[in-house]
Amino acid sequence: MGNTSGAKYKHMMYNVSRSSQKSGKKLEKALARYVDLIKKEADQGETKWIYKTKIRAQARLKKMGITEKMVDAVLTKKGLLK
């Protein structure tokens, strides 16, 4: 007969949105995070925290397939790059 208690489907009863999309704006948020880091670097200089976070942000952009050209477009739109 097998396991009829439904134990292998227990997760379906507790978490309804288990496999749903968490964020639809991941690319925008990643770009915004990187732009904020560049702003902070311009104001404060290169601190250890900014250096480490910038490396992680660049890796995230690379993972998502965001090119340097796309980043430059956002920076010129915000008026940070001439």
pLDDT reading at 50 higher than 90: yes
In a domain, 7, yes or no: no
Backbone φ and ψ of 49, nearest 5°: -65, -45
| pLDDT score recorded for residue 11 | 55
Domain count along the chain: 1
In a domain, 13, yes or no: no
The letter for the amino acid at 47 is T
In a domain, 9, yes or no: no
**Please, are residues 30 and 66 in contact by the beta-carbon 8 Å criterion?**
yes
- pLDDT tens-digit profile of 5-37? 655 555 555 555 555 566 778 888 999 999 999
The chain-wide mean pLDDT, for the chain, equals: 81
Q: Domain of residue 74: give its range.
A: 25-78
Place of tokens 């290169």: 46
Is the pTM for the entire model greater than 0.75? no
| pLDDT score recorded for residue 31 | 92
